[in-house]
Structure 1
Amino acid sequence: MLAIFLKTVPFFALIALGYAAGRTKFFTSEATAYLTKFVFWFALSAMLFNFAANLTLAEILDWRFITAYLWGTVTVYLIATVVGILRRLPIAESAVEAQCAVIGNVGFLGIPMFVLLLGPESAGPMLMVLATDLIIFSSLIVILITGSRDGRVSVKTLHTVGLGLVKNPMIVSIVLGIAWSSTGRELWQPVNEFLAILGAAATPGALFAIGASLAGKTAERISVAGWLTFCKLVLHPAAVALAALVIFPVADPFAATVMISAAALPVAGNVYMLAQHYGVAPQRVSAAILVSTAVSIVTVSVVIGLLTGGI
């Protein structure tokens, strides 16, 4: 496991560097916002398009893989929701906590790290995990929050969900990449090199942005943050492993390894954006992101080590 841990150290060191820059105000919150925007709209989108354009639809769309991931994720989502209801939380707050329990930082941390750590062939499974999270669970939380407030799910709510998906650059990049791949044509060399150069900025930019954004977060309500961290870093990968290896065995062992490793990633920053946008427990989400990211420095290495025989 030590060898795997040492391989992950540079990634988390970049996050720590961003955190230090944010805490010392060398990198202001405004600078962090613009860096995040650059990575989200340009660098990461170029990387995702490049990956998708070099994969076939069959390599990305594996229904057994998606079923296994959904089963494990929905199981933990329901556990977190039930615990929230037992604590007498409103539906909206329970939904936000459930989102923290299952939505990992696949885009900004997982894809850049796993492509270098596990190899470029991890891109296909990671794109499936990312697309599932964005299409299903990002839509679900909007429906639950707005539905609980309005007492029903309106056409306006569904329109908001659909518009959000269409406007999401990660979804658009993956779809456009698959569309290009379906033509069977290679990208024009200058275009390919342009995407490679721009996409190369995604890894350091995303990791630095994660750290800088964490600098503005607080660790209030540690007990709740600890529970959500346990759900995300322990229960989620365990449930996904049970589904992928036992209940719905995934044909490709490597794809199963990538899926389970993805489930072990810390809480994603976009959960905080949604919580802040709707005014539902943003500080609770902030604490969960901070704690889970810190703890994942060890747990991600342990999970990958167990799966790859490195422990």
Structure 2
Amino acid sequence: MAAIFAVTLPFFALVLAGYLAIRWDLFPIEAIPGLNVFVLLFALPCMLYKFASMTPIVRLLDPSIVLTYLGAAGLMVALTVAAARRGHTGWNDAAFGALVGSFPNSGFMGVPLLVALLGAAAAGPAIVALAVDMVFTSSLCIALSQLGAAGEHGAQRAALQGLKGMLKNPLPWSILLGCLATASGKQLPAPVFHAIDLMAGSASPAALFTIGTVLARNRALMARAAGSQARSDPVANRPTGTLQLVACKVIAHPAIVLALGTLAKSLGAPLERSSLVVLVLTAALPSASNVPMLAERFGADAGRIASVVLNTTVIAFLTFPLAVALMK
């Protein structure tokens, strides 16, 4: 366990550094969007391209990996939305609760952390999981969020809007280009690849520091939402609390991935044990830090979503190393 903490502690320490930099006014909150731009448009695409281009194409296109993680994501969304709807939560808050409970921080944190823990072979399944969440999980939840407000056509428009946003996201394209490189066997010229490698090296520390700054900014969002709720009717239209969503993310999500993966293996699916470990640990990561911004954009309770992200990140400092120890 000490050896696992020796790997995970620096990652969470960089998140804490970003958080304290904002809380102590050492880093201007106005600079967070620029930091996000650097990570999302430059550093992370280079890192994902590098790993995808160095991973055998059979691991990136392994249907057993795709279907296991896809099935777990769909089941998580269905269960979370059903539970929220039984509690009389509106479609918008129910859908974004499902998204924050089933979308791990696999881009900013997961890929570099899993590679550090398990080696370069972990990059393939982690990238597949990230692609599934960007294309399927987020689009499904955005579509569900609009069912109550605009009916079926509104949900279709929301899904299309989510897909358009995904197409503008450089992360899926960097993964696709990396897949094409490894499938064709044609790599970039050495000087170009070296430049990409240098930029990829900055992705992990920059992304982790950015998570911390976003979490600190989300605290202000939570405080503003709490103040608004206090001024409104404290009973009517209140969504379910954050505790269930935190438990869904750090406990239920990895458990469902493990259960589906074990079932698939027992039925003869060629799912390697090492790939299943990566998928389970990906699901054990804290919630993605960009979900509160999406929730705010679509008019959901962004303060509640931000609280889930913050709490899962804090709790994952202990639960994620425990999951690593159990899976290894």
User: Following TM superposition, by how much is the alpha carbon of 1:134 offset from its aligned partner in structure 2, in angstroms?
Assistant: 0.5
Q: Hey, what's the Cα distance between the residues in 1 that align with 2:50 and 2:175?
A: 9
Which of residues 284, 289, 297 is equivalent to 1:269? 289
Query: What is the match of residue 149 of structure 2?
Result: 149
Partner AA of 1:296 in structure 2: A
- 5+ long unaligned stretches in structure 1: none
Say whether 1:136 aligns with 2:156: no
- Secondary structure of 2:185's counterpart equals coil
Change (3 A) 1:99 1:159: closer
Query: What is the match of residue 186 of structure 2?
Result: 185
Change (3 A) 1:83 1:147: closer
Q: Hey, what's the Cα distance between the residues in 1 that align with 2:160 and 2:280?
A: 33
Higher deviation after alignment, 177-186 or 84-93: 177-186
Query: What is the match of residue 195 of structure 1?
Result: 196
- Secondary structure of 1:125's counterpart equals helix
Say whether 1:293 aligns with 2:313: yes
Partner AA of 1:241 in structure 2: L
User: Following TM superposition, by how much is the alpha carbon of 1:298 offset from its aligned partner in structure 2, in angstroms?
Assistant: 0.3
Query: What is the match of residue 122 of structure 2?
Result: 122
CA contact (8 A) 1:17 1:208 kept: yes
Query: What is the match of residue 273 of structure 2?
Result: 253
Q: Hey, what's the Cα distance between the residues in 1 that align with 2:172 and 2:187?
A: 21
Partner AA of 2:243 in structure 1: G
Partner AA of 1:265 in structure 2: L
Query: What is the match of residue 28 of structure 1?
Result: 28
Q: Hey, what's the Cα distance between the residues in 2 that align with 1:281 and 1:59?
A: 38
Partner AA of 1:140 in structure 2: L
What whole-Å deviation, never above 9, does each CA across 1:225-272 have from its counterpart, x for those lacking one? 221110000000001000112345552111110000000000101211
What whole-Å deviation, never above 9, does each CA across 1:80-106 have from its counterpart, x for those lacking one? 112211110111111011111111000
Partner AA of 2:273 in structure 1: P
User: Following TM superposition, by how much is the alpha carbon of 1:182 offset from its aligned partner in structure 2, in angstroms?
Assistant: 2.5
CA contact (8 A) 2:74 2:137 kept: no
Q: Hey, what's the Cα distance between the residues in 1 that align with 2:207 and 2:158?
A: 30
Pairing 1:51-200 to 2, within 5 Å after superposition? 51-153=51-153, 156-200=157-201
What whole-Å deviation, never above 9, does each CA across 1:279-299 have from its counterpart, x for those lacking one? 111000010001000000000
- 5+ long unaligned stretches in structure 2: 227-239
Partner AA of 1:41 in structure 2: L
User: Following TM superposition, by how much is the alpha carbon of 1:72 offset from its aligned partner in structure 2, in angstroms?
Assistant: 2.3
Percentage of pairs with the same residue: 32
CA contact (8 A) 1:64 1:248 kept: no
What whole-Å deviation, never above 9, does each CA across 1:137-187 have from its counterpart, x for those lacking one? 111122122343221236644542332221111111111111222221122
User: Following TM superposition, by how much is the alpha carbon of 1:31 offset from its aligned partner in structure 2, in angstroms?
Assistant: 1.2
Partner AA of 1:11 in structure 2: F
What whole-Å deviation, never above 9, does each CA across 1:60-80 have from its counterpart, x for those lacking one? 011111221122222222221
Pairing 1:296-307 to 2, within 5 Å after superposition? 296-307=316-327
CA contact (8 A) 1:67 1:248 kept: no
Tell me the TM-score normalised to structure 2 length. 0.89
CA contact (8 A) 1:143 1:153 kept: no
Query: What is the match of residue 241 of structure 2?
Result: 224
Q: Hey, what's the Cα distance between the residues in 1 that align with 2:326 and 2:164?
A: 40
Query: What is the match of residue 301 of structure 2?
Result: 281
Give the paired residue count: 308
What whole-Å deviation, never above 9, does each CA across 1:95-150 have from its counterpart, x for those lacking one? 01111111100000101211112111111001110000000011112212234322
Q: Hey, what's the Cα distance between the residues in 1 that align with 2:53 and 2:274?
A: 21
Q: Hey, what's the Cα distance between the residues in 2 that align with 1:158 and 1:92?
A: 13
Q: Hey, what's the Cα distance between the residues in 1 that align with 2:56 and 2:5?
A: 32
Partner AA of 2:207 in structure 1: A
Q: Hey, what's the Cα distance between the residues in 1 that align with 2:151 and 2:78?
A: 21
Pairwise CA RMSD: 1.8
Partner AA of 1:209 in structure 2: T
What whole-Å deviation, never above 9, does each CA across 1:41-73 have from its counterpart, x for those lacking one? 100000111111222432201111122112222
